[in-house]
Amino acid sequence: MKKAVVLLSGGLDSATALYLAKSEGFDVHTICFNYGQRHDRELNAAKEIADKAKVTEHRVVSINMNQWGGSSLTDKSMDIEHGDVNRTDIPVTYVPARNMVFLSLAASYAEAIGAQDIFIGVSEVDYSGYVDCRQEFIDAMEKTINLGTVMGAEKNQPIQIHAPFVNKTKSEEIAIGMQLGVDYGLTWSCYNGGKEPCGTCDSCLLRAKAFAEAGYEDPALKQ
Ligand code: ZN
C-alpha cells in the first residue's frame, strides 16, 4: 500500500481529505500541529477523527507560532473578529505563512517514511481570503518540496501534494464526505476555543452556510 501523509487539523476540510485518501487506497499517516492556536480543542478532534478512521500513525507536532503571533488565533491579546462570510479583506485570523510551515513539516515526515503523497484540505472557493489556500501556492510548494528533498531531487520519487477541494465549495466537500462516511460530529471548526462552537466567528459561519447548502444538519450541533 502506498503511504500518504494527511494534514489533519480536526476541522471538516481535513477530515474529508483524510477519508478521501483512505478511499483511494492509501496507507494514511496523519500530522497535526499544536502551533499555539487558541482553539487547541481542535487537537482533540483531530485525535478522535484519526482514531475513528484507523490511521496507521497520528503525529502531533508542536511549533510555538504564538511566540511572534501576528494573528488573532495565536495572539490572545487580539480578538477574533466577528464573522462575515462576504468579507473581501484578509481577516486577523490569518496566521502568517501557516500552510507553508505545515507543508514543509509534512514533507519532512513524508520523506522520512517514504510517502510520495501529501493531502491537504484547502479550498480557494469558500475560504477567508487566506493566500496560502490557493492552487498557485500549492503548485509552488510542490515544486519547492521536490527541489529540497532527496526523494524529489535525487531518487526520482517526486512528492505530490493533493489538494482535492481547492476548487470545491465546503458544501460540495460535505456531500463527498457524507458519501465517504466522515463523522462530522467529531470535527471542530470554531476559532474560539470554548466548549461549544461560538456560532459567530468566520469559521462557524462558513461551516453553518456549508451544511445548509449541502442540505444536512451539522451533527456537531445536535443535542
Ligand atoms: Zn466560532
The residue ranges of every structural domain in the chain are 3-221
> Ligand 1 centroid vs 170 CA: distance in angstroms?
16
CA 187–ligand 1 middle distance (angstroms):
13
Give the residue among 136, 209, 164 at the shortest CA–CA distance from 14: 164
| CA 58/CA 103 separation, integer angstroms | 16
CA distances 22 to 14, 18, 103, 109, 142, Å, are 12, 6, 19, 18, 21
Instruction: Supply φ then ψ for residue 30, to 5 degrees.
Output: -105, 145
Q: How far away, in angstroms, is 22 Cα from ligand 1 center?
A: 29
Kindly state the average pLDDT of the residues 85-95: 82
C-alpha cell at 134: 490557493
Mean pLDDT of 103-118: 98
Q: Compute, in angstroms, the gap from residue 152 CA to the centroid of ligand 1.
A: 39
Look at residue 51 in the predicted model and tell me its pLDDT.
98
Which residues, 6 or more positions from 79, have their beta carbon under 8 angstroms from its beta carbon? 72, 92
- State the distance from the centre of ligand 1 to the C-alpha of 174, rounded, in angstroms: 18
- State which CATH number among 3.40.640.10, 3.40.50.620, 3.30.420.40, 3.10.450.50 fits the domain covering 3-221: 3.40.50.620
Distance 147 CA to ligand 1 centre (A): 39
- 92 Cα to the center of ligand 1, angstroms: 14
Q: How far apart are CA 194 and CA 199, in angstroms?
A: 11
Q: What percent of the chain has pLDDT over 70?
A: 98
Q: What spacing in Å lies between the alpha carbon of 155 and ligand 1's midpoint?
A: 45
Measured in Å, residue 154 CA sits from the centre of ligand 1 at: 45
Per-residue confidence band for 198, with pLDDT thresholds at 50, 70 and 90? very high
What is the model's pTM?
0.95
Digit-coded pLDDT (tens) for 117-166: 999 999 988 766 788 899 999 999 999 999 999 999 999 999 999 999 99
> Does 203 have pLDDT greater than 80?
yes
Residue 190 CA, ligand 1 centroid: distance in Å: 4
Among 23-32, 44-53, 70-79, 138-147, the minimum mean pLDDT is found in 70-79
> How far apart are the CA of 89 and the centre of ligand 1, in A?
19
Ligand 1 centroid – CA 11 distance (Å): 12
C-alpha cell at 203: 469559521
The Å distance, Cα 43 to ligand 1 centre, comes to 16
Q: 173-179 long-range contacts, Cβ below 8 Å, gap at least 24? A: 173/12, 173/13, 173/16, 173/121, 173/123, 173/210, 174/12, 174/16, 174/210, 174/211, 174/214, 174/216, 175/214, 176/16, 176/20, 177/12, 177/15, 177/16, 177/19, 178/214, 178/216
